[in-house]
Amino acid sequence: MDTFLARQPIFDRKLDIYGYELLFRADPTNIFPEIDGDSATAKILSSTFFTVGIEEVTGGKKAFVNFTEELLLQGTAHMFSAKTVVIELLENISPSPAVIEAMQELRRQHYDLALDDFSWREEFVPLLQEATIIKVDFQQSSEEEIRKIGQLAKDYGCFLLAEKIETYKEFNHAKSLGFRYFQGYFFSRPEMMQNKDISPMKQNVLHLLMEVFCEDCSMDELEAILSHDVAMSFKLLNYINSAAFFRVAELHSVRQAIAFLGINEFRIFVTVIAVAQLCQDKPHELFRASVIRARFLSLLAIELGKDKDIYFMLGLFSLIDAMLDNSMEILMKNFPVSDNLKKALTKRRGELFSALEFIELYEQGEWDILEQRRQSAEIDEGRIASFYLEAITWADNCS
């Protein structure tokens, strides 16, 4: 069975990335039939990190990794650098003398320890004394429980991390309660849906995209559109003359660059730059997530024998409602893309939405449903995970 590895962003109070929680799925009995699940998980973790490189997965940020009590006692954490890993202890861990001793040893070596899905019980005091981060599930905890844990964090010198934050309202509320870190998909959803005006700069970017995607747009018109944007023209020529392409001589004009790339590749280039501009006042992770989706879906399209350019645009536009704090229906109403793409984005139906669902399930760690989709699509084991990891690398290069 496939081994899947995904990452979920963890933000600081300024909405900069502090780290990523790593989610993984594998069936240990298929891979290591003669050893217990915890040992198998440790081997899967170490194999994944040492093969791919943990810095490549997290972009050099902190990696939050779930540890069972058995993994903690086996000393698995010592396989990783304290500078790159936060040891996340699952909620069912017991405050036994052996556990506390293992935590103390990790703290002496400067590891950060996070208590996952924490809920207060008197016997957990020894855990709090060694922990550096307390994670609180905002969907499962009452206001009273959250405030109680907040006071405990102050008493024991721990930082608070709010997980499952789904809206900007919840993010702001958690900030007001003293939380330092935030995990959830609030950043990929519109901040407000009523009376939200699109800024003139973003309107210009949207207008440029609408012109570029016009089906009957000629080479002369494309050249004229881009020539009005000096910064984008400069980026295009830099891109086309980079080491990514082999040419005998440099290209010096927008027209030459468009001819070299072809109209479809040119549209993709413009869209990536435009999406970056639409995300200027948003967490950078929003741009990165849209680019990961785009690259993942283009690789999926090649695997399925579909149009990779359409799939790329599907991923790139899938978060445009969050970029512009507006409904997808309004934004797509007059946008010159195919009806199938609009249907996937606004109605969440059709063949293209089935593709988009692949990356959404992967992001959320819905491994069982994802495995069913993979089997139905007859995609080879290992391909989905490799698409995701390649998409992360590609997106980091775009950033």
Tens digits of residue pLDDT in 116-127: 988 887 888 999
Binned at pLDDT 50, 70 and 90, residue 41 comes out as: low
CB atoms within 10 A of CB 139: 10
Q: What is the mean pLDDT of residues 22-42?
A: 51
Q: What is the pLDDT of residue 34?
A: 38
Closest C-alpha to 278, from 317, 223, 315: 317
SS3 readout for the chain: CCCEEEEEEEECCCCCEEEEEEEEECCHHHHCCCCCHHHHHHHHHHHHHHHHCHHHHHCCCEEEEEECHHHHHHCHHHHCCCCCEEEEECCCCCCCHHHHHHHHHHHHCCCEEEECCCCCCHHHHHHHHHCCEEEEECCCCCHHHHHHHHHHHHHHCCEEEEECCCCHHHHHHHHHCCCCEEECCHHHCCCCCCCCCCCHHHHHHHHHHHHHCCCCCCHHHHHHHHHCCHHHHHHHHHHHCCCCCCCCCCCCCHHHHHHHHCHHHHHHHHHHHHHHHHCCCCCHHHHHHHHHHHHHHHHHHHHHCCCHHHHHHHHHHCCHHHHHCCCHHHHHCCCCCCHHHHHHHHHCCCHHHHHHHHHHHHHHCCHHHHHHHHHHHCCCCCHHHHHHHHHHHHHHHHC
Question: Does residue 329 fall inside a structural domain?
Answer: yes
pLDDT band at 220 (very low <50, low <70, confident <90, very high): confident
Residue 53 lies in a domain: yes
Task: Looking at the structure, tell me whether residues 170 and 279 fall in a common domain.
Answer: no
* Alpha carbon 119 to its chain's center: 27
Taking only the tens place, the pLDDT of each residue in 94-105 is 899 999 999 999
Q: Identify whether 193 is part of a domain.
A: no
Split at pLDDT 50, 70, 90, the class of 47 is low
pLDDT in tens, 194-213: 556 678 778 888 887 887 77
pLDDT attached to residue 32: 34
Tell me the mean pLDDT in the region 24-30.
52
Residue 380 has pLDDT above 90, yes or no: no
Same domain, 136 and 267: no
Candidate from 230-244, 267-281, 326-340, 364-378 with smallest mean pLDDT: 230-244
How large is the C-alpha radius of gyration of the chain?
23
Q: Does 156 share its domain with 218?
A: no
Instruction: Convert 74-99 to b/e letters by CB count within 10 Å (16 or more is b).
Output: bebbeebeeebbbbbbeeebebeeeb
Q: Is the dihedral of CA 13, 20, 162, 78 positive or negative?
A: negative
Q: Within a domain: residue 228?
A: yes
Same domain (yes/no): 309, 171? no
Question: Residue 66: which pLDDT band, with cuts at 50, 70 and 90?
Answer: confident
* Number of domains making up the chain: 2
What's CA 201's distance to the chain center, in Å? 26
Do 126 and 209 sit in the same domain of this protein? no
Does residue 195 sit within a domain?
no
Question: Are residues 180 and 210 located together in one domain of the fold?
Answer: no
The answer to whether residues 17 and 60 belong to one domain is yes
The 10s digit of each residue's pLDDT in 325-346 is: 989 998 898 888 889 999 999 9
**Which phi and psi angles does 122 have, rounded to 5°?**
-55, -40
CATH value at residue 331: 1.10.3210.10
Which pLDDT does position 1 carry in this prediction? Answer: 45
Average pLDDT value for the chain: 85
* pLDDT per residue as tens digits for the range 146-186: 999 999 999 999 999 999 999 999 999 999 999 999 999 99
260 and 111, same structural domain?
no
Tell me, yes or no, whether 252 and 394 share the same domain: yes
Show which of 188, 219, 249 is a domain's final residue: 188
Please report, rounded to a whole number, the percentage of residues in the chain having pLDDT higher than 70: 89
What the block records as the tokens of 274 is: 């435009």
Q: What is the pLDDT of residue 348?
A: 95
Structural domain containing residue 175: 4-188
Q: What is the pLDDT of residue 30?
A: 37
Q: What is the pLDDT of residue 33?
A: 36
Q: Determine which of 227-231, 369-373, 375-379 has the lowest per-residue pLDDT on average.
A: 227-231
**Which residues neighbour 73 within 8 Å (Cβ) at sequence distance 6 or greater?**
98, 99, 102
Q: How far apart are CA 123 and CA 105, in angstroms?
A: 20
Q: What is the pTM of this model?
A: 0.86
